[in-house]
Amino acid sequence: MKIGLIGNPNVGKSLIFNQLTGLGVEVSNYPGTTVGLEKGHVCYQREKFEVCDLPGIYSLDGDSDEEKLVNGMLERHELDLVIAILDAVHLERTLYLFLQVAEYGLPLLVVLNMVDEAEKFGISVDSSELSKILGCPVIMTAAIHGRGTDQILPSALSSACPASLTVDYDHHIEAAVRSIMGNFPVSRPAALLTLEGIGADQEILDTSAAIASEIENRHKMSPRQIISANRHHFAEQIADRVITVRQKKTGFDLDRLLTKGIPGIPIMAAILIGILLLVFMIGSRLEGIIVAFFNTYLVQPLLTLGLPPLLQQVSISVLLGLQAGIGIAFPFIFTFYIFISLLEDSGYMTRAAFLADQAMHRVGLHGQAIIPMILGFGCTVPAVMSLRLLASRRERFIASFLVTMIPCSARTVIIAGVVATFVGIWWALSIYLIVFILIVITGLFLSRITPGERFGMIMEMAPLRAPQAANVVKKSWRKISEFLTIAMPLLIISSIILGLLQYYGIINAFQNFIAPFSTMVLGLPAYATTALMFGILRKEMALGALVVLAGTPALNTVMTQVQLYTWAIISVLFVPCISTIAVLYRQVGLKTVVLVTTYTVILGLAIGAGIHLAFP
């Protein structure tokens, strides 16, 4: 038996899914956290049920992938039971989707979530009256506190039934639906959709289009507008009957500060810069401790063992790989994720997006694009995945360049480990500045030359909530463990390969090959350029490789400060890492990946050559 969770974005579907299945699906306080279909299994009374967490949508008649996915599953009756999740605070708005879902005639259970928040606003919902009107069972939950969620499965299995209510559509719409259903074997909801021009069968669409234009001529509005106005009106009537508002929301509204130009924008800048600085400081402190621990207790004792040379090379490589993962990447990434989770859960992300709308316009993007950008400071991979929040191809194209250029935490490691340590903290920050200027220039340029529709921001502001410590830690841990399981083996394997290449002298051969270019154009020793190549696997590996190839962690003894600075800035800009390339390929296609990669390579080398020219 297959159960689907359907609801608006940000009503708590993922949280309820987690509580039903015990799985860890990402929960955030901004719309659109669930990408595709999340599936899990749950056993109840010795029976096994499959539960699907469907992406949050506002209606079924849009053309986004999410809407098509949910619509398709309902149309093909792939679900045996639907759990429709409504938001008690925004009942009327969430009923709009419900009315549309109810038309598919599947057994339904209505879960009225966020009753705790509704209580805070003095809103109470008469659930038995609501159940009577809808004709299917309604249960009240506060999923964030786990209240009532244990009732979901038992109620769903014992009493779920198709809703008995029907929306009163305009009689011309009803007539049109009857006529379409009389001529073609389609369901009522599918017939309504074809009137709006949505469907797969061209013959039906043509017929519907003829009827639709007739209706449009008579009503001076399109069937889509009539249908949605009818549904909204119906939802409003239901909400009026079941909601009582005791007192209006009073008290201080934090949004008065957060969404105003002043002080909102300074607050946003302070939050973002503060997070970067804190990650930088906490990260380097932790890194120092862990790296020192590795050196004293693992690397040094290993060297004194006097193993055969090949074995020693391999085991040192394994240790260096582990050290790079746990000692370098982990402190930065984990710290960053803690802060990001706080931002996500508080609902601040959508405020930042609103405030950033104007700045983002300059580079051809919209406010929502700030979310991938901020995520990009942690790791480029989730940032690229969140590009689908953006409405148009044009925006996704531009943003995929900019997001790849943002210094992720692996690149922070390089900046901290090379420039801040050996050249100076202000020089390290100047790299950020240069990268930001390049990002802005790239954005300005791309927004001029990229064709395609400009689509503005229409974004629901997530309600402000105090983040739950448990959720923040759990989420950060989930992200970091994903990183550890995916990246660690890669790090260790590539570290071993690097060690073996060095052992068999292949690296020397490559170095001899690259040396003229390296010294002439970039002014770097050949091994430094070789180390850059390892940044393609994972950015911070470039640093690991540099240390190995230089033969000493005290890099300032073998390279000048200008060389270190040049090296760091090239590796920050140069080629996105292999995981980024893979995920970009999935999100925006081969052509864009090739363009992004070529652009960053040229940019990195050009900047490096430029510095060499200026400071020979």
Partner 1 sequence: MESSEREDYLEAVLVRQLAAQPPPSAKDIAEDLHQGEDTVSANLKSLENQGDLVFNEKRAIILTGQGHSIAERVLKKHRVLQCFLGEILGMDDNAASDEACILEHSISDTAISRIGNYVNKAGSRRSSHWGNTPCYKSMTKNNPKPHNQVSIPGSHPASPISTCSSLIDAMESVPLTVMGITGGDHLHRLIDLGIIPGEVVILRRRLHNNAVVLQVKECDIALSPEIAGTILVENME
Contacts with partner 1, residue ranges (CB under 8 A): 58-59, 61-62, 89-90, 92-93, 96, 170, 218-222, 224-226, 228-230, 232-233, 255, 259-261, 350, 353-355, 357-358, 361, 366-367, 454, 456-461
Do residues 45 and 75 lie in contact, with contact meaning Cβ atoms separated by under 8 Å?
no
CB of 173 to partner 1, least distance (A): 10
User: Toward partner 1, which CB reaches closer, 93 or 539?
Assistant: 93
d(CA 383, CA 15): 22
Nearest-approach distance from CB 33 to partner 1, in angstroms: 17
For partner 1, the closer of residues 150 and 253 by Cβ is 253
- Helical ranges in 22-169 per DSSP H: 65-75, 91-102, 115-120, 127-134, 152-159
* Helix 539-550 / helix 526-534 crossing angle, nearest 10 deg: 150
As to burial, measured by CB atoms within 10 angstroms (0-12 exposed, 13-18 middle, 19+ buried), residue 408 is buried
User: Least separation, in Å, of the C-beta of 486 and partner 1?
Assistant: 34
Residues in the chain: 616
Output 41 or 465, the one with its CB closest to partner 1.
465
| Helix (H) or strand (E) segment spanning residue 350 | helix 348-362
Smallest gap from Cβ 259 to partner 1, in A, equals 5
Residue whose CB is less far from partner 1, 86 or 381: 86
| Least gap, CB of 257 to partner 1 (angstroms) | 11
Could you give the CA distance from residue 223 to residue 116 in angstroms, rounded to a whole number?
38
Q: 89 vs 138, which CB is nearer to partner 1?
A: 89
Q: Quick one: tokens of 382?
A: 């989730």
Q: How far is the CB of 461 from partner 1 (least distance, A)?
A: 4
Cβ proximity to partner 1, 120 vs 233, nearer residue: 233
Q: Rank residues 91 and 514 by Cβ distance to partner 1 and give the closer one.
A: 91
Residue 97 Cα distances to 61, 90, 119, 237, 555, angstroms = 10, 12, 23, 15, 60
- At 118, the amino acid letter reads A
Smallest separation, CB 492 to partner 1 (Å): 45
What is the gyration radius of the CA atoms in the chain, in angstroms? 28
Distance CA 238, CA 126 (A): 11
Residue 23: CB atoms within 10 Å: 16
Q: Which is nearer to partner 1, 10 or 14 (CB)?
A: 10
Structure tokens at 284: 């380097």
Give the separation between CA 334 and CA 264, rounded to whole angstroms. 27
- Tell me whether residue 157 is exposed, middle or buried, using C-beta atoms within 10 angstroms of its C-beta: 0 to 12, 13 to 18, 19 or more: middle
Per the listing, tokens 């009537």 go with: 237
In whole angstroms, the minimum distance from the beta carbon of 75 to partner 1 comes to 19
Burial grade of 305 (CB within 10 A; 0-12, 13-18, 19 or more):
exposed
CB 254 within 8 A of CB 464: yes
Query: Helices 348-362 and 261-294 sit at what angle, rounded to 10 degrees?
Result: 100
Min. distance of Cβ 97 from partner 1 in angstroms? 8
Q: Which residue has the tokens 């690149």?
A: 411
Closer to partner 1 by Cβ: residue 221 or 594: 221
CB of 191 to partner 1, least distance (A): 19
Shortest distance (Å) from residue 350 CB to partner 1 = 7
Residues near 550 by Cβ (< 8 Å), separated by ≥ 6? 527, 528, 531, 558, 559
Four-CA torsion 362, 364, 367, 368, nearest 10 degrees: -160
Nearer to partner 1, 358 or 557 (CB): 358
- Closest contact distance (angstroms) between CB of 272 and partner 1 is 18
Quote the CA–CA distance of 567 and 458 in Å, as a whole number. 42
The answer for residues whose C-beta is within 8 angstroms of residue 294's C-beta and 6 or more apart is: 319, 322, 323, 326, 327
Nearest approach in angstroms of CB 464 to partner 1 is 10
Q: Which is nearer to partner 1, 394 or 538 (CB)?
A: 394
Burial class (CB in 10 A: 0-12, 13-18, 19+), 324: buried
Task: Specify the residue, 90 or 612, whose C-beta has the smaller distance to partner 1.
Answer: 90
Q: Which is nearer to partner 1, 392 or 560 (CB)?
A: 392
CB of residue 91 vs partner 1: minimum separation in angstroms? 9
In whole angstroms, the minimum distance from the beta carbon of 41 to partner 1 comes to 32
* Distance (Å, whole) CA 267 – CA 244: 37
351: left (phi over 0), alpha (psi -120 to 50) or beta: alpha
93 vs 475, which CB is nearer to partner 1? 93
Cα dihedral 525, 526, 529, 534 sign: negative
Minimum CB distance to partner 1 smaller for 221 or for 310 = 221
d(CA 62, CA 348): 27
H/E segment holding residue 3: strand 2-7
